[in-house]
Structure 1
Amino acid sequence: MEYRVHARRIDAHGSLAVAKEAEVTLDTDLAGRRDAMNPVELLLAALAACMLKGIERVTPMLNFQIDGAEVALEAIRQDAPPKLMLIRYAIVVESAETDQRLDLLHRNILKYGTISNTLSSAVPLEGSLRRKV
């Protein structure tokens, strides 16, 4: 498979990325902006989307019953040279499945995720999947 995104600078405060019929405003302002995601936030959003899509992919295969899911992520960045040192995540699912089945879901999300597999080879990923209380 191949993926394509085209991005262009709008002005000194932002840029626009386009893929298919979707557009995303990018925070490329040196001062930052509240109404757009910066590059690290976009990377974390891509990882969250990968994990949520993984849930959608594996739940039918595992005959797994789920009523909802959410992902929270944070990245730890060093300044010199600028790079991410760690990404932490927490996946929370609404499900009555057993703890063993939740563990199976978690392993499958990580095993078959394009973004999670790519990122885990570059930066440590730490996290868990738990049931919503």
Structure 2
Amino acid sequence: MLNYAITARRIDAHGSVSGAREAVVQLDTSLGGREDALNPVELLLSALAACMIKGVERAAPLLGFDFSGVEVRIQAQRQDSPPQVIAISYELIVDSPETDRRLELLHTNVRKYGTISNTLAASMPLSGLVRRA
């Protein structure tokens, strides 16, 4: 079993920072919002995107999958009362000469072995598709 830890702290009324190891991320914790930092929902979606990209990096060598780039586009639906994300959809865009069948195989591996995608899929609808860049 792996354990993870971060530390987050308030800087002022306009924002906070979060960090692990040598990495630091600016957080939008301001009531007015900030353009230069990610808000909590955007951080959640970024974690999913990072999980999927890392999944491609992990699965590609195992599958002998040829690719030169990956992009993930994610949208979330949030309800107001109670405030929560109720659904997430994504588009996994892979720059690759591989066949459509192999592209789908990569997508299956990314979904099956993703820590964040599995966690989110267990708590809400998580749907998406893979396509060629």
Specify the TM-score bucket, using the shorter chain as the normaliser: over 0.9
Corresponding residue number in structure 1 for 2:97? 96
State how 1:57-68 maps to structure 2 within 5 Å: 57-68=58-69
Aligned length: 132
SS of 1:81's partner is coil
Unaligned runs of 5+ in 1: none
Matched, 1:78 2:79: yes
Normalization by structure 1: what TM-score?
0.98
- Please name the residue that 1:109 is paired with: 110
Query: What is the RMSD computed on CA atoms of the aligned residues?
Result: 0.5
TM-score in terms of structure 2 length = 0.98
CA shift digits 1:7-64 (9 cap, x unpaired)? 0011111001010100001000011000000000000000000000000000000000
Deviation beyond 3 Å, 4+ runs, structure 1? none
- The separation in 2 between residues aligned to 1:45 and 1:112, in whole angstroms, is 17
Matched residue SS, 1:48: helix
**Shift of residue 126 of structure 1?**
1.1
Distance 1:114 1:75 in 2: 18
Distance 1:74 1:113 in 2: 18
Counterpart code for 2:46: A
Query: Are 1:42 and 2:43 matched, yes or no?
Result: yes
